[in-house]
């Protein structure tokens, strides 16, 4: 049992990320104690299938001794080494090389960060530097997509297009712009793929025109929008946007913090989309959440332009923990696990998950089922014809999350009744089936809940 004193200590001292401070004071903390495979156990002994892999990050699943050993070995041998200046360490060099070998196209240069937010923030700095080096410093305007998530640093939170990350924080800045999402289920252009692609292309062209064609530095895209509610673009959308950016000389950034490392099937979702971006950001699955790390991938021309621009001067961007040797050692081991069968298992069980969730389509509350690989969502509505969302006043997501938890399932509940799934790639068939069964039970209970209907 969790002692009351721990709850009180939490309430008094631990500020939780992306939480309602007052709401949390009332509810108190819910603490996980241990985990193995795809199962987590809380301090009351309640066991749950982690249908969200922590925060879409524990792609390999919990309890891999080989990852623990890799970290321990590295900690004993060399727990820290800076990568500043011309210093380095072996695991970081090896990991950069292994990643570059596997990355799409000529994304051959890897800059390690501590997570996804600072990976995105690093791209903003590198992109500004790039355009200065090219002699086009007026290209200082950035475009992203509504419902997108690109971290919560001061600059990155402005590219993130979710209201909670803006209100009261003074972002987005006047150099940050957005176009509407491809969100097929609620797109004014309808659900037809060609119409959605045409509408997005037009929106981006209009935005570029409005900003000024030689002012736009970069366009940011998640191959599948994650925190916006797992919004899967129609086939060809990402490629079409990439090509439009190329034709306008605008840098294209693929933010693969969620989609990277097997989440959608291949190691990187850009492969699904058959594109090579100018920058690619990753984190989460890079170390499977066992230790913090992110990585920015740069295409050859980006690296060369920055290098030529700087000449003998230092490019002044870095963190104490950039290219941390222990994180890199974990990254190398995790990569072995992915390629030693986890990617393959994830592809197989991901298809099972999608099929299982699609079977719920006839449930009276299910309006939409979407996803790819081990990344999925179902969107609940009270009226399928009108696509009426569950009533916000009933805080449906909170209720559904709590109910799923009681039913032994961790999910993510977005907005007013969008349920997100990103299970570890190690899930067995029976664990996938249990995720679907527990979802159905949760939906049936929600249907009986007068506050939600
Ligand atoms: N980009 C995307 C697409 C993300 O989903 C996230 C985190 N959910 C981030 C960036 C930020 O990563 P982090 O939370 O590791 O800072």
For every residue of 165-225, which 3-state class applies, written as one string? HCCCCCCCCCCEEEECCCCHHHCCCCCCHHHHHHHHHHHHHHHHHHHCCCCEEEEEECCCE
CA of 99 to the centre of ligand 1 (A): 19
Is 298 strand, coil or helix? strand
Which CATH fold would you assign to the domain 81-323? 3.40.640
In degrees and rounded to multiples of 5, residue 95 shows phi and psi of -65, -45
Question: Given the CA of residue 56, which atom of ligand 1 is nearest to it?
Answer: 8
> What tens digit of pLDDT does each residue of 141-151 get?
999 999 999 99
Nearest to 382 by CA among 453, 286, 296: 453
Q: Which two tokens stand for residue 46?
A: 């309640």
Give pLDDT, residue 244: 98
The three-class DSSP label of residue 292 is: coil
> Residue 241: enclosing H or E segment and its boundaries?
helix 237-247
pLDDT in tens, 48-92: 999 999 999 999 999 999 999 999 999 999 999 999 999 999 999
pLDDT of residue 332: 99
Mean pLDDT of all residues belonging to the chain = 97
**Predicted pLDDT of residue 3:** 63
pLDDT tier at 2, thresholds 50, 70, 90 = low
- pTM flag (> 0.95): yes
- The Å distance, Cα 75 to ligand 1 centre, comes to 26
Residue of 283, 287, 289, 296 best suited for mutating to test ligand 1, as the one with most atoms within 8 Å of CB: 283
| DSSP annotation string for 92-156 | HHHHHHHHHHHSSTT--EEEEESSHHHHHHHHHHHHHHHHHHTT-TT--EEEEETT-----STTH
- Ligand 1 site: residues with CB under 6 angstroms? 115-117, 120, 149-151, 222, 226-227, 255, 257-258, 283
Give the span between the Cα atoms of 20 and 18, in whole angstroms.
Answer: 7
pLDDT at 453: 75
Over residues 350-364, mean pLDDT: 98
Among the atoms of ligand 1, which is closest to the Cα of residue 284?
Answer: 15
Residue of 120, 229, 412 with the most ligand 1 atoms within 8 Å of its CB, for mutation: 120
Q: Where in the sequence of the chain do the CATH 3.90.1150.10 domains occur?
A: 31-63+340-447
Nearest ligand 1 atom to alpha carbon 225 = 3
Task: Say yes or no to pLDDT of 136 above 60.
Answer: yes
Nearest to 370 by CA among 407, 422, 415, 408: 422
218 alpha carbon to ligand 1 midpoint, in Å? 18
The residue whose CA is least distant from atom 12 of ligand 1 is: 116
Asked whether 320 and 148 are in contact (CB, 8 A), the reply is no
Ligand 1 atom, smallest distance to 256 CA: 3
What is the per-residue pLDDT for 379?
Answer: 98
Cα–ligand 1 centroid distance for 264 (angstroms): 16
- Ligand 1 centre to CA of 56 (Å) is 9
What is the ipTM metric for this complex?
0.99
Are residues 418 and 397 in contact, defined by beta-carbon separation less than 8 angstroms?
yes
Q: Kindly report the CATH class assigned to 31-63+340-447.
A: alpha beta
Question: Which residue intervals of the chain bear CATH 3.40.640.10?
Answer: 81-323
Would you say residue 218 has pLDDT above 90?
A: yes
Residue with tokens 């390999």: 60
**Distance (Å, rounded) from C-alpha 54 to C-alpha 58?**
6
């Amino acid at each position: 049992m969790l002692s009351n004193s721990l709850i009180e200590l939490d309430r008094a001292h631990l500020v939780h990320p992306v939480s309602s401070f007052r709401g949390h004071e009332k509810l108190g903390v819910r603490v996980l104690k241990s985990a193995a495979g795809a199962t987590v156990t809380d301090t009351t002994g309640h066991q749950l299938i982690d249908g969200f892999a922590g925060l879409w990050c524990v792609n390999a699943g919990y309890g891999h001794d080989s990852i623990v050993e890799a970290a321990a070995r590295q900690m004993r041998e060399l727990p820290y080494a800076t990568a500043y200046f011309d210093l380095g360490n072996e695991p970081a060099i090896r990991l950069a090389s292994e990643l570059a070998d596997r990355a799409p196209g000529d994304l051959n240069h890897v800059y390690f960060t501590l997570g996804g937010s600072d990976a995105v923030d690093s791209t903003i700095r590198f992109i500004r530097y790039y355009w200065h080096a090219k002699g086009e410093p007026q290209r200082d305007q950035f475009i992203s997509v509504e419902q997108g998530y690109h971290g919560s640093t001061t600059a990155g939170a402005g590219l993130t297009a979710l209201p909670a990350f803006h209100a009261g924080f003074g972002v987005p800045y006047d150099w940050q712009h957005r176009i509407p999402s491809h969100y097929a289920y609620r797109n004014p252009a309808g659900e037809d793929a060609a119409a959605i692609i045409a509408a997005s292309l037009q929106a981006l062209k209009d935005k570029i025109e409005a900003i000024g064609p030689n002012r736009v530095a970069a366009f940011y895209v998640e191959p599948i929008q994650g925190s916006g509610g797992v919004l899967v673009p129609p086939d060809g959308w990402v490629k079409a946007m990439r090509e439009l950016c190329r034709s306008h000389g605008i840098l294209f950034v693929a933010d693969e913090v969620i989609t990277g490392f097997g989440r959608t099937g291949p190691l990187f979702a850009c492969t699904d989309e058959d594109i090579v971006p100018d920058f690619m950001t990753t984190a989460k699955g890079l170390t499977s959440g066992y230790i913090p790390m992110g990585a920015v991938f740069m295409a050859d021309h980006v690296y060369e332009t920055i290098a030529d621009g700087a000449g003998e001067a230092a490019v002044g961007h870095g963190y104490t923990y950039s290219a941390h040797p222990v994180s890199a050692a974990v990254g190398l081991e995790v990569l072995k696990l992915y390629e030693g069968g986890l990617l393959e298992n994830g592809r197989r069980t991901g298809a099972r998950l999608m099929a299982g969730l699609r079977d719920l389509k006839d449930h009276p509350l299910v309006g939409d089922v979407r996803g790819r690989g081990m990344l999925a969502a179902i969107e609940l509505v009270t009226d399928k014809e009108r696509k009426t969302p569950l009533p916000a006043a009933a805080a449906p997501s909170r209720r559904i999350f709590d109910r799923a938890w009681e039913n032994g399932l961790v999910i993510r509940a977005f907005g007013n009744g969008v349920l997100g799934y990103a299970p570890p790639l190690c899930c067995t068939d029976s664990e996938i089936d249990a995720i679907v069964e527990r979802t159905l039970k949760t939906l049936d209970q929600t249907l009986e809940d007068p506050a939600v209907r």
